[in-house]
Amino acid sequence: MPIEIDVVTLAQSLAYFIAAYTIVTLSLNLEAGFTGVPNFGKHLFVAAGAFVVASIGNRLSAYIVSVLYKDEIIKLIQEDPLLSRRITEEDIGRLWSMYADPLGNRDLDRIMDKFFAQNPELGIIMFMLIVVLAVAIGGLMGLLISYPALRLRGEYLAILLLAAAEMVVMAIGYYWKPLVGGTTGLFLPRYLAVFGQKVILGVTILLILTALAMYIYAQRIANSPAGRMMRAVRDDELAAASLGKDIARVRRDVIIISSAMAALAGALIAIHTGSVVSTHYQRFSWTFIPWAMMIVGGVANNSGVVIGVALVMILQKFVDIVKPLLAPIVPFDPVWLYQIGLGLIIILMLYMRPQGIIPEKPSRTLNFEEVFEDILEDKVEDEQAKKMIREGRATP
Amino acid sequence: MVVNVQLFLDTMAYASVLGLLSMSLTLTYIVSRVPNFAHATFAAIGSYMVLIIVWIMGIYKTGPSWGVYYASLPVSFLVVGIVALIQYLIVLRPLAKKGISIDGLMIATLGIDIILVGLLNISADFLEDIFQRSPDKDLRKLVTYPRSGYLSSYEPTIMGITASSILGPLLLLVSTIGFYLFLTRTKFGTAMRAAIENPQLAETLGINVNLVYSVSWFIAGGLAGLAGVVMVMTTKLNPAMGWILIVSVFAGSIVGGLGSLFWGAIGGLLIGFLEQFGVYYTQIILGALTGETISLGNYRQVFSLGAIVVMLLVAPQGLASLNWHRILSRLGLKRW
Amino acid sequence: MAPILEVDGIDAGYGKLQILFNVSMEVEPKDIFVIVGPNGSGKSTLLKTIFGLTKIYKGSIKFEGEEITGKPPHDIAKTGVAYLPQTDNIFAQLTVMENLKMAAYTLPSDLAEERISEVLDRFSLLKARLKDKAMTLSGGQRQILAMAMSLIRKPKLMLFDEPTAALAPKLAAEILKEIIKLRDELGITIILVEQNAKKALQMGDKALLLVGGRVMYRGQARELLEHPELGTLYLGLKK
Ligand SMILES: Nc1ncnc2c1ncn2[C@@H]1O[C@H](COP(=O)(O)OP(=O)(O)OP(=O)(O)O)[C@@H](O)[C@H]1O
Ligand SMILES: [Mg+2]
């Protein structure tokens, strides 16, 4: 049986997945690779971005639109035979609350799509507003977890983050319909009507640009004195203790920024897909796979991460392609083989090449003196004072 | 309605499942110093054994039978014990020997979890296939079971009480006491405690530390398998059923302090009761406030997460670390 | 008489970190052989190396003429060597009796019982504490327990790493007296690492001074004690 491959669609979907995973995995690498925070609940932060878009974003845009553009909406509904049958005039005042049930969600979605098609610039504004909101909430959640992250031992932190993520995604996300419609999910308005039919391409490009920006940011962190400090702290308890508060602040900032980044990715993924279903934000997709990518590529190494992302995604696409070939032969869904294979790859990688394909450059892991020098250069202006501090005659 | 007997009985089964799981998770943690993220999926494997027994032994035809337990308990113990042993021997031990960091070991257990869930999914597909094609009409009815079966319809009752409500606590009690006797009264059990406390010294005394650790993992897996048999009587069968359950299991272990088996069992029990009764009373209170019937059973893990957070903030070493003599005498409960 | 232990040109350390450089020594049967040196000079590392607990890059170690270089600790233990580490030399969570039973782990049960009662006769203070957890013992009692545990297997050579560390002077003297008795009454060869260089050199036959992982002096213990420079330079001995 020949397999047909639509090269353009394949390339576009590959680009989308690689960009999305690059953002998430780079943010994971900042936390786990550089600051030593084992985030086993990464899917919570990706889900947070998507959930904000679906629950707050949907309601907010419905509310704003139905209040500010009431007349236009009424006209829209009257023109549409399907909608006019189901939605009365008094419904308009409470349009935003219709997102709770699946049918209301569909109707509302239809209205919003039409509205944004007529007012694309408003769509862009709403889009930006909602994405900023998602990022802000992601950042706030980062701030929240930075409190335990700076105090708990690694294992406890990993357990706590995983438990929090499973609780939010698998309990509340699955069963509390008002949030994102439970396991049936919610549709999102097409905010980016500007792109016309090319919405998916447009969002993919946005994701790629974000991934690039994230890469540059991660590289800057990695090569800054702060980044070197963090690695020293990760590897050396003594350094951590003596650097104290300074480093705690840097680590907190990194956690906030990586959480915000994951939420941004989640928001863009949701908008790319046009819907949010809580079951899409599981541990396997957004915690395990990013960890796998990081370990395959190289922990604490940004270019390694990108390579890891690309390799795992290409593997996934390959499995997608051969799946129809395998399906008639084996009496089960071949997708499980991909999961099992990924689990095996992680374990084999840890065993045979724990440093990843591209190891962290050893020359960059600094010893305490060099870090100390960095801080001196950073903090103390006066040459004379530097000399005194170095010789131990004064304290910074 | 302050006490609800049926709820109490249901909770007994669920809480003993958590007790068994938190205790055995604690055992693997004491031995290997890594939280095993695959532990709840161990129990899920045990649950699938029950379905297989129901099928192979023809219980689906005959209806409720003690055979569900006679056959499932030893089979689950053995199968899951072997799975745990394999995880220790061919994954965790070699990785730990290579000096892989704790983060690396944790992600390896997460990888094992993914693999096991993948294998359960494959088995579920297989079973569905077999049931669907079967000429046996009764067996064809089982076709939905591998992904969402309630197996409690096959367990017997004792004076109107479902067997799991009695068997669960009994299993927990027997394994806790049995384990205690094994650890304190047998030479091998003593060697186990010795090897866990100071593997280097134990090694120099000629104790085969690796054997001791392997046995610990086997027993831990076996206990998780037993838990799975009881668990499937209280919940729906699904390959990923461990993914949310692990929250409660960790909560139990953390409440117990991750350092003592006895306290692990207590922690699991407490979490079971906290979740069930927490949900129950919240439902009553919210129901009274809103005037509607509210069902919160799906959110029980909220209480577990709360317990983890509170415990880590207040007593990160768990209940085991508290000075019980002082607490009891403060409360006037201990006059001797 | 042939030496019971021969260490020949050993380079050893932890992973890639080399601590010992070309260390050689010979221990005669029934001697008390004392190893002294400043903190961090590698004394503990040398004992661990003999017992197979470090990485050996070069050189050889022979016990009773047989090569034991690179053997795992439990094999070396079987040949008749006992090692008492500086810390963690007992199971604190186990009772005294359980500790002794673990020390007799590989022996058949009747022999184990016999040996346990033998060492209990020797260290009768343990008898009253058999059911107590070892962590409730005092520092000196713990050392005695550790000694009792190694004696159960009737070793020919015992390696002591600072058995008197953190003990009051009177207790320390008692422990050292016990060690001398082990040699005198049971004919066990002793290698002793000691902080208190003066006491150790007084009771020792031969001695070795380790500085920075290298042998600075090897010979009669008494000579090192009376050496005009080495003692004051490295061991804080007064002239
Ligand atoms: N397990 C180990 N891994 C790496 N290095 C070690 C280890 N144990 C000791 N060292 C290093 O080896 C060197 C020698 O240590 P050792 O314990 O042998 O000294 P010592 O002479 O016994 O000192 P002390 O008198 O303080 O007991 C030290 O620099 C120490 O830091
Ligand atoms: Mg020492």
Amino acid at B129: D
Confidence (pLDDT) at A4? 67
Q: Please tell me which of the candidates B103, B113, B122 has its beta carbon nearest to residue A154.
A: B103
Residue A107 C-alpha from the chain's centroid: 29
Chains A and C touch (3+ CB pairs under 8 A): no
Distance, in Å, from the CA atom of C92 to the CA atom of C85, rounded to the nearest integer, reads 14
Confidence (pLDDT) at A240? 59
Ordered DSSP codes for B232-253: TTTS---TTHHHHHHHHHHHHH
Are residues A289 and A280 in contact, defined by beta-carbon separation less than 8 angstroms? Answer: no
- pLDDT (mean) for C47-68: 93
Between vectors from CA A131 to CA A128 and to CA A136, what angle results, nearest 5°? Answer: 120
Whole-model pTM? 0.87
- pLDDT (mean) for A349-365: 73
Size of interface B-C (CB pairs under 8 A): 54
Identify all chain B residues contacting C77, using CB atoms and an 8 Å cutoff. Answer: 204-206
Is A178 at the interface with chain B, CB within 8 A?
no
Distance, in Å, from the CA atom of A183 to the CA atom of A164, rounded to the nearest integer, reads 19
- A376 lies in the same domain as A259: no
- Please, which residues bridge with residue C211 across strands? C214
Closest C-alpha to A44, from A361, A283, A335, A370: A283
Closest C-alpha to A260, from A144, A126, A123: A144
Confidence (pLDDT) at A363? 41
Are residues C198 and C178 in contact, defined by beta-carbon separation less than 8 angstroms? Answer: no
- A327 lies in the same domain as A386: no
Q: 10 Å Cβ neighbour count for A263? A: 32
C43 lines ligand 1 (CB under 6 A): yes
- A252 lies in the same domain as A396: no
Q: How far is B26 from chain C (nearest CA, A)?
A: 17
- Please, which residues bridge with residue A101 across strands? none
Burial A311-334 (b: 16+ CB within 10 A, else e): bbbebbbebeeeeeeeeeeeebeb
Q: Please tell me which of the candidates B193, B198, B203 has its beta carbon nearest to residue C74.
A: B203
Are residues C79 and C64 in contact, defined by beta-carbon separation less than 8 angstroms? Answer: yes
Half-sphere exposure of C23 (CA within 13 A, CB side): 29
Pairing of strands C157-161, C55-63: unpaired
Residue A385 contacts by C-beta under 8 Å, 6 or more apart in sequence? Answer: A394
Q: How far is B174 from chain C (nearest CA, A)?
A: 24
Confidence (pLDDT) at B241? 93
Given a cut of 90, whether residue A28 has pLDDT beyond it is: yes
What separation in Å is there between the alpha carbon of C219 and the centre of ligand 2? Answer: 21
Backbone angle region of C59, left / alpha / beta, with phi > 0 → left and psi within -120 to 50 → alpha: left
Confidence (pLDDT) at A121? 86
Given a cut of 70, whether residue A395 has pLDDT beyond it is: no
> To probe the interface with A, which of B247, B300, B303 has the most A CB atoms within 10 Å?
B247
Nearest CA in chain A to B96: A351
- A183 lies in the same domain as A300: yes
What separation in Å is there between the alpha carbon of C161 and the centre of ligand 2? Answer: 7
- A371 lies in the same domain as A295: no
Distance, in Å, from the CA atom of B210 to the CA atom of B88, rounded to the nearest integer, reads 10
C37 lines ligand 1 (CB under 6 A): yes
Q: How many domains does chain A have?
A: 2
pLDDT tens string for chain B (336 positions)? 456 788 888 899 999 999 999 999 999 999 999 999 999 999 999 999 999 999 999 888 888 888 888 999 999 999 999 999 999 999 999 999 888 989 899 999 999 999 999 999 999 999 999 999 999 988 998 999 999 988 888 888 888 888 889 999 999 999 999 999 999 999 999 999 999 999 989 988 888 899 999 999 999 999 999 999 999 998 999 999 999 899 999 999 999 999 889 999 999 999 999 999 999 999 989 988 888 888 888 889 999 999 999 999 888 888 888 877 777 777 766 554
Confidence (pLDDT) at B20? 97
Structure tokens at B110: 């997460």
Domain for residue A226, yes or no?
A: yes
Distance, in Å, from the CA atom of A48 to the CA atom of A58, rounded to the nearest integer, reads 14
Is B185 at the interface with chain C, CB within 8 A?
no
Is C90 at the interface with chain B, CB within 8 A?
yes
Backbone angle region of B118, left / alpha / beta, with phi > 0 → left and psi within -120 to 50 → alpha: alpha
Confidence (pLDDT) at A366? 45
Closest C-alpha to A133, from A8, A266, A329: A266
Pairing of strands B161-162, C17-27: unpaired
Q: Do B108 and A172 touch (CB under 8 A)?
A: no
- A148 lies in the same domain as A41: yes
Q: What is the pLDDT of residues A326-340, one digit of tens each?
A: 888 888 888 899 999
ipTM score: 0.91
- Split at pLDDT 50, 70, 90, the class of C191 is very high
Stretch among A46-50, B81-85, B237-241, C163-167 having the lowest mean pLDDT: C163-167
- pLDDT (mean) for A56-65: 84
> A12 versus A4: which is more confidently predicted?
A12
Long-range CB pairs of B142-149 (<8 Å, 24+ gap) are B142/B51, B142/B54, B142/B55, B142/B60, B145/B51, B145/B237, B146/B48, B146/B51, B146/B237, B147/B237, B147/B238, B147/B239, B148/B236, B148/B237, B148/B238, B149/B51, B149/B236, B149/B237
Is A368 at the interface with chain B, CB within 8 A?
no
Confidence (pLDDT) at B326? 79
Closest C-alpha to B143, from B155, B134, B152: B134
Domain for residue A248, yes or no?
A: yes
What separation in Å is there between the alpha carbon of B328 and the centre of ligand 1? Answer: 45
Pairing of strands C32-36, B161-162: unpaired
- A126 lies in the same domain as A166: yes
Run of H or E residues at C189: strand C189-193
Confidence (pLDDT) at A243? 61
Distance, in Å, from the CA atom of B172 to the CA atom of B195, rounded to the nearest integer, reads 25
Domain for residue A359, yes or no?
A: no
Confidence (pLDDT) at B125? 93
Closest C-alpha to C7, from C71, C82, C86, C69: C69
- Please, which residues bridge with residue C67 across strands? C62
Closest C-alpha to C63, from C46, C84, C78, C81: C81
- A154 lies in the same domain as A216: yes
Distance, in Å, from the CA atom of A271 to the CA atom of A253, rounded to the nearest integer, reads 27
Unique residue bearing structure tokens 């002239």: C239
**Mean confidence (pLDDT) of chain A:** 82
Confidence (pLDDT) at A101? 67
Q: What is the pLDDT of residues C67-103, one digit of tens each?
A: 999 888 888 988 999 999 888 899 999 999 999 999 9
Q: 10 Å Cβ neighbour count for A338? A: 18
Confidence (pLDDT) at B120? 97
Amino acid at B115: I
Confidence (pLDDT) at A116? 82
List the end-to-end C-alpha distance of chain C, in Å, as a whole number.
34
Structure tokens at B204: 């120099």
- A370 lies in the same domain as A348: no
Residue nearest to atom 16 of ligand 1 (CA): C42
Confidence (pLDDT) at A1? 47
For chain B, the residue count is 336
Distance, in Å, from the CA atom of B8 to the CA atom of A381, rounded to the nearest integer, reads 69
Unique residue bearing structure tokens 């004392």: C34
Q: What is the pLDDT of residues A215-274, one digit of tens each?
A: 998 888 888 877 777 777 676 656 655 666 667 787 888 899 999 999 999 999 999 888
Are residues A355 and A294 in contact, defined by beta-carbon separation less than 8 angstroms? Answer: no
- pLDDT (mean) for C127-156: 92
Confidence (pLDDT) at A226? 73
Between the CA of residue B97 and those of A269, A350, B93, B107, B196, what are the distances in Å? 40, 12, 6, 16, 16
- pLDDT (mean) for A99-124: 78
Are residues A338 and A330 in contact, defined by beta-carbon separation less than 8 angstroms? Answer: no
Half-sphere exposure of C43 (CA within 13 A, CB side): 26
Residue nearest to atom 1 of ligand 1 (CA): C14
C40 lines ligand 1 (CB under 6 A): yes
Q: Do A155 and B34 touch (CB under 8 A)?
A: yes
- A11 lies in the same domain as A46: yes
Give the atom of ligand 1 at the shortest distance from the alpha carbon of C195.
25
Structure tokens at B227: 């838990």
**Quick one: what percent of chain A has pLDDT higher than 90?**
32
Given a cut of 60, whether residue A396 has pLDDT beyond it is: no
What separation in Å is there between the alpha carbon of C85 and the centre of ligand 2? Answer: 9
Ligand nearest to the CA of C19: 1
Unique residue bearing structure tokens 């308009």: A92
List the end-to-end C-alpha distance of chain A, in Å, as a whole number.
72
Distance, in Å, from the CA atom of C147 to the CA atom of A92, rounded to the nearest integer, reads 87
Residue B5 contacts by C-beta under 8 Å, 6 or more apart in sequence? Answer: none
Between the CA of residue C215 and those of A44, A181, A314, C56, C225, what are the distances in Å? 60, 76, 60, 17, 16
> B95 versus A193: which is more confidently predicted?
B95
Q: Do B111 and A339 touch (CB under 8 A)?
A: no
Q: 10 Å Cβ neighbour count for A132? A: 12
Pairing of strands C206-211, C32-36: parallel
- A348 lies in the same domain as A372: no
Domain limits at A183? 7-352
- A281 lies in the same domain as A373: no
